[in-house]
Structure 1
Amino acid sequence: MNSLFSSVLRACSALREFSYGKCIHGRVIKHGFDSNQILGSVLIDLYSKYGSIEEACRLFSCVDNGDVVSWTTMISSLVQAGKWSQALRIYIDMIKACVYPNEFTFVKVLPTAGFLGLQHGKVVHAHLIVFGVELNLVVKTALVHMYSKCQRMDDALREAVVAFQEMEASGVLSNNFTYLSILNACSLTLSLDLGRQIHARVIMTGLEDDLPVGNALVDMYMKCSHGAKKWLENVPRHTVA
Protein backbone atom coordinates (compact mmCIF):
# COMPACT_ATOMS: atom_id res chain seq x y z
CA MET A 1 0.00 0.00 0.00
CA ASN A 2 2.85 2.39 0.85
CA SER A 3 4.44 1.92 -2.57
CA LEU A 4 1.09 2.56 -4.26
CA PHE A 5 0.52 5.80 -2.35
CA SER A 6 4.10 6.84 -3.06
CA SER A 7 3.76 6.25 -6.81
CA VAL A 8 0.45 8.12 -7.03
CA LEU A 9 1.76 11.07 -5.02
CA ARG A 10 4.89 11.31 -7.19
CA ALA A 11 2.67 11.33 -10.25
CA CYS A 12 0.55 14.12 -8.74
CA SER A 13 3.70 16.12 -8.10
CA ALA A 14 5.03 15.58 -11.63
CA LEU A 15 1.66 16.38 -13.24
CA ARG A 16 1.05 19.33 -10.89
CA GLU A 17 -2.24 17.79 -9.74
CA PHE A 18 -2.17 19.43 -6.33
CA SER A 19 -5.86 18.99 -5.51
CA TYR A 20 -5.75 15.29 -6.28
CA GLY A 21 -2.53 15.02 -4.28
CA LYS A 22 -4.29 16.48 -1.24
CA CYS A 23 -7.04 13.88 -1.61
CA ILE A 24 -4.45 11.11 -1.65
CA HIS A 25 -2.84 12.70 1.41
CA GLY A 26 -6.18 12.35 3.17
CA ARG A 27 -6.22 8.64 2.38
CA VAL A 28 -2.66 8.32 3.66
CA ILE A 29 -3.76 9.80 6.98
CA LYS A 30 -6.86 7.58 7.07
CA HIS A 31 -4.70 4.47 6.72
CA GLY A 32 -2.30 5.69 9.40
CA PHE A 33 0.70 6.07 7.09
CA ASP A 34 1.30 9.80 7.61
CA SER A 35 4.42 9.19 9.76
CA ASN A 36 6.01 6.87 7.19
CA GLN A 37 9.48 8.06 6.09
CA ILE A 38 9.04 7.42 2.38
CA LEU A 39 5.55 8.88 2.14
CA GLY A 40 6.62 11.79 4.32
CA SER A 41 9.39 12.70 1.88
CA VAL A 42 7.06 12.48 -1.11
CA LEU A 43 4.43 14.63 0.62
CA ILE A 44 7.02 17.21 1.67
CA ASP A 45 8.13 17.50 -1.95
CA LEU A 46 4.52 17.74 -3.15
CA TYR A 47 3.54 20.58 -0.82
CA SER A 48 6.77 22.51 -1.23
CA LYS A 49 6.38 22.50 -5.03
CA TYR A 50 3.06 24.27 -4.63
CA GLY A 51 4.38 26.88 -2.24
CA SER A 52 2.93 25.34 0.93
CA ILE A 53 6.23 25.40 2.81
CA GLU A 54 4.51 25.64 6.20
CA GLU A 55 2.62 22.41 5.52
CA ALA A 56 5.84 20.81 4.31
CA CYS A 57 7.54 21.73 7.60
CA ARG A 58 4.59 20.36 9.58
CA LEU A 59 4.74 17.09 7.67
CA PHE A 60 8.46 16.84 8.28
CA SER A 61 7.97 17.20 12.02
CA CYS A 62 5.53 14.26 11.92
CA VAL A 63 7.90 11.84 10.20
CA ASP A 64 9.20 9.17 12.57
CA ASN A 65 12.99 8.83 12.68
CA GLY A 66 13.54 10.74 9.45
CA ASP A 67 16.22 9.30 7.18
CA VAL A 68 18.69 11.14 4.94
CA VAL A 69 16.10 11.30 2.14
CA SER A 70 13.44 13.04 4.22
CA TRP A 71 15.96 15.47 5.76
CA THR A 72 17.43 16.30 2.36
CA THR A 73 13.96 16.75 0.86
CA MET A 74 13.10 19.23 3.60
CA ILE A 75 16.36 21.12 3.07
CA SER A 76 15.73 21.21 -0.68
CA SER A 77 12.21 22.54 -0.11
CA LEU A 78 13.50 25.39 2.04
CA VAL A 79 16.24 26.23 -0.47
CA GLN A 80 13.70 26.39 -3.29
CA ALA A 81 11.62 28.74 -1.14
CA GLY A 82 14.66 30.99 -0.57
CA LYS A 83 14.69 30.29 3.18
CA TRP A 84 18.47 29.97 3.43
CA SER A 85 18.88 30.31 7.19
CA GLN A 86 16.12 27.84 7.92
CA ALA A 87 17.58 25.34 5.45
CA LEU A 88 20.98 25.59 7.13
CA ARG A 89 19.40 25.11 10.58
CA ILE A 90 17.67 21.95 9.37
CA TYR A 91 21.03 20.72 8.05
CA ILE A 92 22.63 21.31 11.44
CA ASP A 93 19.74 19.57 13.20
CA MET A 94 20.19 16.66 10.80
CA ILE A 95 23.79 16.18 11.92
CA LYS A 96 22.83 16.53 15.58
CA ALA A 97 20.26 13.78 15.04
CA CYS A 98 23.12 11.55 13.78
CA VAL A 99 21.64 11.38 10.28
CA TYR A 100 24.67 11.78 8.07
CA PRO A 101 24.39 13.85 4.86
CA ASN A 102 25.17 12.40 1.45
CA GLU A 103 26.23 14.04 -1.82
CA PHE A 104 22.65 15.09 -2.61
CA THR A 105 22.38 16.83 0.76
CA PHE A 106 25.52 18.85 0.14
CA VAL A 107 24.41 19.85 -3.37
CA LYS A 108 21.32 21.39 -1.71
CA VAL A 109 23.12 22.90 1.30
CA LEU A 110 26.03 24.56 -0.51
CA PRO A 111 23.84 27.19 -2.25
CA THR A 112 22.56 28.32 1.16
CA ALA A 113 26.15 28.92 2.27
CA GLY A 114 26.69 30.96 -0.87
CA PHE A 115 23.92 33.33 0.20
CA LEU A 116 24.73 33.35 3.93
CA GLY A 117 28.47 33.95 3.71
CA LEU A 118 31.91 32.41 3.33
CA GLN A 119 32.18 31.27 6.95
CA HIS A 120 29.17 28.98 6.52
CA GLY A 121 30.52 27.76 3.20
CA LYS A 122 33.85 26.75 4.69
CA VAL A 123 32.10 24.80 7.45
CA VAL A 124 29.96 22.90 4.93
CA HIS A 125 33.06 22.26 2.79
CA ALA A 126 34.83 20.88 5.87
CA HIS A 127 31.85 18.60 6.54
CA LEU A 128 32.19 17.25 3.00
CA ILE A 129 35.69 16.10 3.88
CA VAL A 130 34.86 14.86 7.39
CA PHE A 131 31.94 12.72 6.22
CA GLY A 132 34.00 11.31 3.36
CA VAL A 133 31.50 12.27 0.67
CA GLU A 134 32.71 11.59 -2.85
CA LEU A 135 33.60 14.83 -4.59
CA ASN A 136 31.98 14.03 -7.92
CA LEU A 137 31.47 16.58 -10.68
CA VAL A 138 28.04 17.69 -9.40
CA VAL A 139 29.34 18.31 -5.87
CA LYS A 140 32.41 20.14 -7.16
CA THR A 141 30.23 22.32 -9.37
CA ALA A 142 28.18 23.23 -6.29
CA LEU A 143 31.42 24.11 -4.47
CA VAL A 144 32.58 26.32 -7.33
CA HIS A 145 29.22 28.08 -7.38
CA MET A 146 29.30 28.60 -3.61
CA TYR A 147 32.80 30.13 -3.62
CA SER A 148 31.96 32.35 -6.56
CA LYS A 149 28.84 33.57 -4.73
CA CYS A 150 31.05 34.41 -1.75
CA GLN A 151 33.38 36.44 -4.01
CA ARG A 152 36.19 33.92 -3.52
CA MET A 153 36.99 33.20 -7.14
CA ASP A 154 40.49 31.95 -6.30
CA ASP A 155 38.91 29.11 -4.32
CA ALA A 156 36.32 28.59 -7.03
CA LEU A 157 39.04 28.38 -9.69
CA ARG A 158 41.02 25.91 -7.56
CA GLU A 159 37.99 23.62 -7.28
CA ALA A 160 37.30 23.93 -11.01
CA VAL A 161 40.89 23.03 -11.91
CA VAL A 162 40.89 19.99 -9.61
CA ALA A 163 37.62 18.78 -11.14
CA PHE A 164 39.04 19.30 -14.63
CA GLN A 165 42.25 17.40 -13.82
CA GLU A 166 40.36 14.49 -12.31
CA MET A 167 38.10 14.29 -15.36
CA GLU A 168 41.16 14.16 -17.60
CA ALA A 169 42.86 11.52 -15.41
CA SER A 170 39.78 9.29 -15.33
CA GLY A 171 39.41 9.40 -19.10
CA VAL A 172 36.18 11.45 -19.04
CA LEU A 173 36.19 13.69 -22.11
CA SER A 174 35.76 17.38 -21.42
CA ASN A 175 33.10 19.12 -23.49
CA ASN A 176 32.48 22.74 -24.41
CA PHE A 177 30.58 23.32 -21.15
CA THR A 178 33.64 22.21 -19.16
CA TYR A 179 35.92 24.59 -21.03
CA LEU A 180 33.42 27.42 -20.78
CA SER A 181 33.26 27.08 -16.99
CA ILE A 182 37.00 27.08 -16.45
CA LEU A 183 37.65 29.86 -18.99
CA ASN A 184 35.07 32.06 -17.27
CA ALA A 185 36.81 31.39 -13.95
CA CYS A 186 40.14 32.35 -15.56
CA SER A 187 38.59 35.60 -16.77
CA LEU A 188 37.28 36.49 -13.32
CA THR A 189 40.60 35.73 -11.60
CA LEU A 190 42.78 37.16 -14.39
CA SER A 191 44.60 33.83 -14.64
CA LEU A 192 46.29 34.26 -18.02
CA ASP A 193 48.77 31.37 -17.73
CA LEU A 194 46.04 28.87 -16.89
CA GLY A 195 43.85 30.35 -19.61
CA ARG A 196 46.58 29.72 -22.16
CA GLN A 197 46.88 26.10 -21.00
CA ILE A 198 43.13 25.63 -21.36
CA HIS A 199 43.32 27.27 -24.80
CA ALA A 200 45.86 24.62 -25.80
CA ARG A 201 43.52 21.88 -24.58
CA VAL A 202 40.68 23.45 -26.57
CA ILE A 203 42.76 23.23 -29.74
CA MET A 204 43.76 19.62 -29.00
CA THR A 205 40.11 18.61 -28.62
CA GLY A 206 39.07 20.39 -31.82
CA LEU A 207 36.78 22.91 -30.13
CA GLU A 208 38.56 26.08 -31.28
CA ASP A 209 35.73 26.79 -33.76
CA ASP A 210 32.98 26.31 -31.17
CA LEU A 211 31.14 29.65 -30.91
CA PRO A 212 30.63 29.84 -27.10
CA VAL A 213 34.16 28.57 -26.42
CA GLY A 214 35.60 31.07 -28.90
CA ASN A 215 33.72 33.89 -27.16
CA ALA A 216 34.97 32.71 -23.77
CA LEU A 217 38.54 32.68 -25.08
CA VAL A 218 38.16 36.22 -26.43
CA ASP A 219 36.77 37.37 -23.09
CA MET A 220 39.59 35.68 -21.19
CA TYR A 221 42.32 37.28 -23.32
CA MET A 222 40.60 40.68 -23.25
CA LYS A 223 40.51 40.66 -19.46
CA CYS A 224 43.85 38.99 -18.79
CA SER A 225 46.18 40.33 -21.45
CA HIS A 226 47.03 43.47 -23.35
CA GLY A 227 47.81 41.18 -26.28
CA ALA A 228 44.14 40.60 -26.93
CA LYS A 229 44.22 42.49 -30.22
CA LYS A 230 46.71 40.03 -31.67
CA TRP A 231 44.54 37.13 -30.49
CA LEU A 232 41.45 38.65 -32.04
CA GLU A 233 43.16 39.03 -35.40
CA ASN A 234 43.69 35.26 -35.51
CA VAL A 235 40.17 34.28 -34.47
CA PRO A 236 37.71 33.43 -37.26
CA ARG A 237 35.07 36.14 -37.44
CA HIS A 238 32.17 33.73 -36.83
CA THR A 239 33.51 32.92 -33.35
CA VAL A 240 33.30 36.49 -32.11
CA ALA A 241 29.97 37.53 -30.53
Structure 2
Amino acid sequence: MTAQKSPEPTTPPRTASKPMGRALLWPAAAAALGALLMYNSVEGTGGSEPRPAAVASAAPTPAAPVDETLVLPRSAPMRLSIPSIAVDAPFTTLTLDSKGQLNPPPGDDNNLVGWYKGGASPGESGPAIVAGHVDTKTGPAVFQLLYALTPGNTVQITREDGVVATFVVDSVEEFSKADFPDDRVYADTPTPQLRLITCGGVYDHQAKDYSDNVVVFAHLDSTSTG
Protein backbone atom coordinates (compact mmCIF):
# COMPACT_ATOMS: atom_id res chain seq x y z
CA MET A 1 0.00 0.00 0.00
CA THR A 2 0.95 3.60 -0.42
CA ALA A 3 3.11 4.79 2.43
CA GLN A 4 1.97 7.76 4.47
CA LYS A 5 3.51 9.47 7.46
CA SER A 6 2.93 7.47 10.58
CA PRO A 7 3.44 9.17 13.94
CA GLU A 8 3.89 7.07 17.03
CA PRO A 9 0.49 5.85 18.29
CA THR A 10 -0.74 6.82 21.71
CA THR A 11 -2.94 3.73 22.15
CA PRO A 12 -6.20 5.67 22.56
CA PRO A 13 -9.45 3.83 23.27
CA ARG A 14 -10.00 3.45 19.57
CA THR A 15 -7.66 3.98 16.69
CA ALA A 16 -7.64 2.11 13.45
CA SER A 17 -5.75 0.38 10.82
CA LYS A 18 -6.19 -0.66 7.34
CA PRO A 19 -6.61 -3.44 4.86
CA MET A 20 -4.92 -6.46 3.77
CA GLY A 21 -4.88 -8.92 1.00
CA ARG A 22 -2.40 -10.80 -1.10
CA ALA A 23 0.01 -7.97 -0.77
CA LEU A 24 -1.56 -6.07 2.00
CA LEU A 25 -0.24 -2.87 2.98
CA TRP A 26 -2.58 -0.17 3.92
CA PRO A 27 -2.44 3.35 5.26
CA ALA A 28 -4.78 3.30 8.21
CA ALA A 29 -6.09 6.07 10.34
CA ALA A 30 -8.56 7.01 13.00
CA ALA A 31 -9.15 10.53 11.82
CA ALA A 32 -11.03 11.68 14.89
CA LEU A 33 -7.99 10.92 17.01
CA GLY A 34 -5.42 12.04 14.45
CA ALA A 35 -3.56 8.73 14.59
CA LEU A 36 -2.17 7.35 11.32
CA LEU A 37 -1.13 3.76 10.88
CA MET A 38 0.29 1.81 7.98
CA TYR A 39 -0.11 -1.87 7.31
CA ASN A 40 2.90 -3.96 6.44
CA SER A 41 2.91 -5.67 3.06
CA VAL A 42 2.67 -9.42 2.74
CA GLU A 43 3.84 -10.70 -0.59
CA GLY A 44 1.48 -13.02 -2.47
CA THR A 45 1.61 -14.95 -5.69
CA GLY A 46 -0.32 -12.46 -7.79
CA GLY A 47 -1.47 -15.31 -9.95
CA SER A 48 -5.24 -14.91 -9.94
CA GLU A 49 -7.27 -12.79 -12.31
CA PRO A 50 -8.62 -9.47 -11.02
CA ARG A 51 -11.92 -10.10 -9.28
CA PRO A 52 -15.06 -8.06 -9.96
CA ALA A 53 -14.85 -4.63 -8.39
CA ALA A 54 -16.93 -3.74 -5.39
CA VAL A 55 -19.19 -0.74 -5.71
CA ALA A 56 -17.02 2.38 -5.52
CA SER A 57 -18.51 5.61 -4.34
CA ALA A 58 -17.29 9.02 -3.26
CA ALA A 59 -20.56 9.71 -1.47
CA PRO A 60 -20.81 9.21 2.29
CA THR A 61 -22.11 5.87 3.44
CA PRO A 62 -25.84 6.29 4.17
CA ALA A 63 -26.64 6.37 7.86
CA ALA A 64 -28.09 3.05 8.94
CA PRO A 65 -31.13 2.90 11.22
CA VAL A 66 -29.49 1.69 14.41
CA ASP A 67 -30.51 1.31 18.02
CA GLU A 68 -28.26 3.78 19.82
CA THR A 69 -28.81 1.95 23.09
CA LEU A 70 -27.29 -1.24 21.65
CA VAL A 71 -23.72 -0.88 22.90
CA LEU A 72 -21.58 -3.62 24.42
CA PRO A 73 -18.69 -3.41 26.89
CA ARG A 74 -15.21 -4.16 25.64
CA SER A 75 -14.44 -7.79 24.85
CA ALA A 76 -12.01 -9.30 22.36
CA PRO A 77 -13.41 -11.08 19.29
CA MET A 78 -12.80 -14.82 19.03
CA ARG A 79 -14.46 -15.98 15.82
CA LEU A 80 -15.88 -14.43 12.64
CA SER A 81 -18.75 -15.97 10.68
CA ILE A 82 -20.10 -14.66 7.37
CA PRO A 83 -22.52 -17.32 6.12
CA SER A 84 -23.18 -15.75 2.72
CA ILE A 85 -19.53 -16.14 1.66
CA ALA A 86 -18.74 -19.24 3.75
CA VAL A 87 -16.34 -17.52 6.15
CA ASP A 88 -15.74 -19.16 9.51
CA ALA A 89 -12.42 -18.05 10.93
CA PRO A 90 -10.66 -17.41 14.23
CA PHE A 91 -9.15 -14.07 15.17
CA THR A 92 -5.66 -12.95 15.91
CA THR A 93 -4.83 -9.53 17.33
CA LEU A 94 -3.01 -6.95 15.23
CA THR A 95 -0.43 -4.65 16.79
CA LEU A 96 2.01 -1.98 15.68
CA ASP A 97 5.69 -2.45 15.01
CA SER A 98 8.46 -0.07 16.06
CA LYS A 99 7.73 2.16 13.07
CA GLY A 100 4.06 2.53 13.89
CA GLN A 101 3.03 0.14 11.14
CA LEU A 102 0.33 -2.44 11.65
CA ASN A 103 1.68 -5.98 11.70
CA PRO A 104 -0.29 -8.32 9.41
CA PRO A 105 -1.78 -11.67 10.35
CA PRO A 106 0.52 -14.58 9.61
CA GLY A 107 0.95 -15.02 5.88
CA ASP A 108 0.97 -18.81 6.11
CA ASP A 109 -2.58 -19.13 7.47
CA ASN A 110 -5.30 -18.62 4.86
CA ASN A 111 -8.16 -18.86 7.32
CA LEU A 112 -7.35 -16.20 9.89
CA VAL A 113 -8.61 -12.66 10.40
CA GLY A 114 -7.03 -9.87 12.40
CA TRP A 115 -8.55 -7.35 14.79
CA TYR A 116 -6.74 -4.12 15.60
CA LYS A 117 -6.77 -4.27 19.39
CA GLY A 118 -5.90 -0.59 19.77
CA GLY A 119 -9.34 0.28 18.42
CA ALA A 120 -12.92 -0.51 19.39
CA SER A 121 -13.84 -4.12 20.02
CA PRO A 122 -16.82 -5.45 18.04
CA GLY A 123 -19.93 -4.13 19.77
CA GLU A 124 -18.34 -1.13 21.45
CA SER A 125 -19.14 2.36 20.19
CA GLY A 126 -16.88 3.18 17.28
CA PRO A 127 -15.60 1.30 14.25
CA ALA A 128 -14.09 -2.11 15.00
CA ILE A 129 -11.41 -2.80 12.39
CA VAL A 130 -11.11 -6.34 11.04
CA ALA A 131 -8.72 -7.20 8.23
CA GLY A 132 -7.95 -10.36 6.32
CA HIS A 133 -5.93 -11.58 3.38
CA VAL A 134 -7.60 -11.93 0.01
CA ASP A 135 -4.94 -14.50 -0.87
CA THR A 136 -1.41 -15.46 0.07
CA LYS A 137 1.49 -17.30 -1.55
CA THR A 138 -0.33 -20.57 -0.96
CA GLY A 139 -3.66 -19.64 -2.54
CA PRO A 140 -7.05 -18.00 -1.87
CA ALA A 141 -7.55 -16.70 1.64
CA VAL A 142 -10.32 -15.86 4.09
CA PHE A 143 -11.50 -12.61 2.48
CA GLN A 144 -11.28 -13.72 -1.15
CA LEU A 145 -15.04 -13.20 -1.60
CA LEU A 146 -15.44 -10.14 0.61
CA TYR A 147 -16.27 -8.04 -2.46
CA ALA A 148 -19.35 -10.24 -3.06
CA LEU A 149 -21.16 -9.15 0.12
CA THR A 150 -24.25 -7.01 -0.39
CA PRO A 151 -26.29 -4.71 1.86
CA GLY A 152 -28.38 -6.76 4.26
CA ASN A 153 -25.90 -9.63 4.59
CA THR A 154 -25.02 -10.49 8.18
CA VAL A 155 -21.67 -10.80 9.90
CA GLN A 156 -21.47 -12.56 13.25
CA ILE A 157 -18.62 -12.12 15.70
CA THR A 158 -18.35 -14.33 18.75
CA ARG A 159 -16.65 -12.45 21.58
CA GLU A 160 -14.57 -13.61 24.49
CA ASP A 161 -17.41 -12.82 26.91
CA GLY A 162 -19.70 -15.29 25.11
CA VAL A 163 -21.79 -12.64 23.36
CA VAL A 164 -22.42 -13.05 19.64
CA ALA A 165 -22.62 -9.64 17.97
CA THR A 166 -24.53 -9.63 14.68
CA PHE A 167 -23.72 -6.85 12.25
CA VAL A 168 -25.67 -5.98 9.12
CA VAL A 169 -23.83 -4.84 5.99
CA ASP A 170 -24.64 -1.29 4.90
CA SER A 171 -22.36 -1.03 1.85
CA VAL A 172 -19.38 -2.64 0.13
CA GLU A 173 -17.03 -0.23 -1.57
CA GLU A 174 -13.69 -0.23 -3.31
CA PHE A 175 -11.16 2.57 -2.98
CA SER A 176 -7.80 3.24 -4.57
CA LYS A 177 -5.00 2.84 -2.04
CA ALA A 178 -3.55 6.06 -3.44
CA ASP A 179 -6.67 7.97 -2.40
CA PHE A 180 -8.06 6.05 0.55
CA PRO A 181 -10.83 7.88 2.51
CA ASP A 182 -9.38 7.57 6.01
CA ASP A 183 -12.06 9.80 7.54
CA ARG A 184 -14.91 7.64 6.25
CA VAL A 185 -13.38 4.37 7.27
CA TYR A 186 -11.67 5.17 10.55
CA ALA A 187 -13.42 8.19 12.05
CA ASP A 188 -15.01 7.59 15.43
CA THR A 189 -18.75 6.87 15.51
CA PRO A 190 -21.33 7.17 18.32
CA THR A 191 -22.70 3.69 17.60
CA PRO A 192 -21.04 0.26 17.19
CA GLN A 193 -19.78 -0.16 13.66
CA LEU A 194 -17.68 -2.71 11.82
CA ARG A 195 -15.18 -2.31 8.99
CA LEU A 196 -14.00 -5.41 7.13
CA ILE A 197 -11.01 -4.67 4.93
CA THR A 198 -9.01 -6.52 2.32
CA CYS A 199 -7.25 -5.86 -0.98
CA GLY A 200 -8.93 -5.49 -4.36
CA GLY A 201 -8.47 -4.10 -7.83
CA VAL A 202 -5.55 -5.04 -10.06
CA TYR A 203 -2.50 -6.88 -8.79
CA ASP A 204 0.79 -5.13 -9.59
CA HIS A 205 3.47 -7.81 -9.91
CA GLN A 206 6.26 -5.28 -9.71
CA ALA A 207 4.97 -3.60 -6.56
CA LYS A 208 3.67 -6.94 -5.22
CA ASP A 209 0.49 -5.26 -4.12
CA TYR A 210 -3.10 -4.72 -5.20
CA SER A 211 -4.19 -1.29 -6.40
CA ASP A 212 -7.30 -0.97 -4.24
CA ASN A 213 -8.91 -1.83 -0.93
CA VAL A 214 -12.34 -3.38 -0.51
CA VAL A 215 -14.13 -2.08 2.57
CA VAL A 216 -17.35 -3.44 4.05
CA PHE A 217 -19.29 -0.97 6.21
CA ALA A 218 -21.64 -2.59 8.73
CA HIS A 219 -23.52 -1.70 11.91
CA LEU A 220 -24.41 -3.69 15.04
CA ASP A 221 -27.95 -5.01 14.65
CA SER A 222 -28.44 -7.46 17.51
CA THR A 223 -26.72 -9.55 20.17
CA SER A 224 -27.20 -12.98 21.65
CA THR A 225 -25.35 -15.36 23.94
CA GLY A 226 -23.46 -18.20 22.35
- TM-score normalised by L of structure 2: 0.23
Bigger strand share: 2
Which of the pair has the greater relative contact order for Cα pairs under 8 Å at 6+ separation?
Answer: 2
Bigger helix share: 1
Bigger Rg, which one: 1
- TM-score normalised by L of structure 1: 0.22
